[in-house]
A = this chain, B = another copy of it.
Amino acid sequence: MAPKSKPTIIDVARVAGVSVTTVSRVLNGGKYVSPDKLAAVQEAFDKLDYQPNLHARSLAGERAYLIGLLFDDPRGDYLSGMQRGTLLAGQKADYHVLVELLGRTGTLAQMKRLISRVRLSGVILTPPVCDHTSLLNTLVRHHIPAVRISPSSDFPGIPSVKIDDYAAATEMTRHLITLGHRKIGFIIGDPEHADARERQRAFNDALAKAGLEAKPEWVAEGGYQFSGGLTAARKILSQPDRPTAIFASNDDMAAAVIAVADEMGLRVPADLSVSGFDDTSLASAVSPALTTIRQPVEQMAMKAVEILLERISGEKPETETPVMMGTKFVRRGSTGPAPQ
């Protein structure tokens, strides 16, 4: 039961009765290898329980079988969902995942260090680092394949995966209107992010289309945070003429709206309907549970990895247009008919 020293490609070659080159070929797709040798090699793999050494491969070749997952701060369901997706998809393709925290400052230097220390096959960029322009440029300059998830800006040459924020927010706004609400408030996320702006634009457009007014007093900014949502909700709900529904740009802020309603003695949804966005675990943990938009975060990340692997292997023409993933409207208890 001693950890007999790991078999190397040489052992496999010997056992299979072929050269290391052939073994290497099998390892890398089995092209240009005769069926019988291929079988012999695979048999040797099994027999020896062989696993190629990642570092040796990286050092010798140009690929590293390592994908980098870059975060600014992997907090919250949204980001950990991305990680799960990346891990799952990476695992399926036999890639390992290196997670790296890129601080708010010195990001570029950190990236450069990372690049020269580790040979990454490619990287997945989560928000907000996916919008760090000089970082993106560095990646391009070093020919490191990358895919961006939910980017705010355009960046030619690097594919991305996102959802249709406009359509989703339109659907939510319509839902509220359909319930009879005429006075609807809105809490913006972080206006730095394109998604936040898109959601608001959809909100405004849907209101206009229904002939409703979007009162500025009913709109506030919450920065996508619970605490910001608290402030925003208080501001909106302390108006003499307050809305009967509030659409918060994410679940955290929607939860904050509920908290404020609670402290003001407003019943949700009887007196005030509240809706969120994302469908994080918080959405169903709050009472009442939030009507929200489910974002397929995990699948987005999986898709991103898929695209990344295509880029790495050099297949497929470059997809310049972002891949759009579908969202799902989720109706729960926090929204109801407008009060009389």
- A interface residues with partner B (beta carbon < 8 Å): 1-3, 6, 49, 51-56, 58-59, 64, 69, 73-77, 79-80, 83-84, 87-88, 91, 96-101, 112-114, 116-119, 141-143, 226, 252, 255-256, 258-259, 262-263, 281-282, 284-289
Known contacts A118-B54, A118-B55; A285 and B255 CB within 8 A of each other? yes
Known contacts A51-B117, A55-B55; A285 and B87 CB within 8 A of each other? no
Please measure, in the bound complex, the distance between the C-alpha atom of A77 and the C-alpha atom of B142, giving whole angstroms: 35
A-B contact pairs, 18 of them (CB 8 A): A1-B141, A51-B113, A55-B59, A55-B64, A56-B59, A74-B83, A74-B84, A76-B281, A79-B80, A88-B101, A96-B98, A255-B287, A259-B289, A262-B287, A262-B288, A263-B287, A282-B282, A286-B287
Q: Give the number of copies in the complex.
A: 2
The answer to whether A119 touches B55 (Cβ under 8 A) is: yes
Choose from B97, B119, B281 the contact partner of A99 (Cβ within 8 Å). Answer: B97
A73: chain B residues at CB < 8 Å are 84
For A96, A262, A263, the residue with the greatest tally of chain B CB atoms inside 10 Å of its CB is A96
A55: chain B residues at CB < 8 Å are 54-56, 58-59, 64, 118-119
The answer to whether B99 touches A87 (Cβ under 8 A) is: yes
Please measure, in the bound complex, the distance between the C-alpha atom of A80 and the C-alpha atom of B87, giving whole angstroms: 14
Please measure, in the bound complex, the distance between the C-alpha atom of A98 and the C-alpha atom of B52, giving whole angstroms: 17
Please measure, in the bound complex, the distance between the C-alpha atom of A207 and the C-alpha atom of B269, giving whole angstroms: 39
The answer to whether A285 touches B98 (Cβ under 8 A) is: no
Known contacts A99-B83, A255-B286; A59 and B51 CB within 8 A of each other? no
Please measure, in the bound complex, the distance between the C-alpha atom of A100 and the C-alpha atom of B142, giving whole angstroms: 27
The answer to whether B97 touches A98 (Cβ under 8 A) is: yes
Choose from B58, B80, B226, B255 the contact partner of A80 (Cβ within 8 Å). Answer: B80
Choose from B116, B118, B281 the contact partner of A226 (Cβ within 8 Å). Answer: B281
Please measure, in the bound complex, the distance between the C-alpha atom of A249 and the C-alpha atom of B78, giving whole angstroms: 25
Choose from B84, B96, B282 the contact partner of A75 (Cβ within 8 Å). Answer: B84
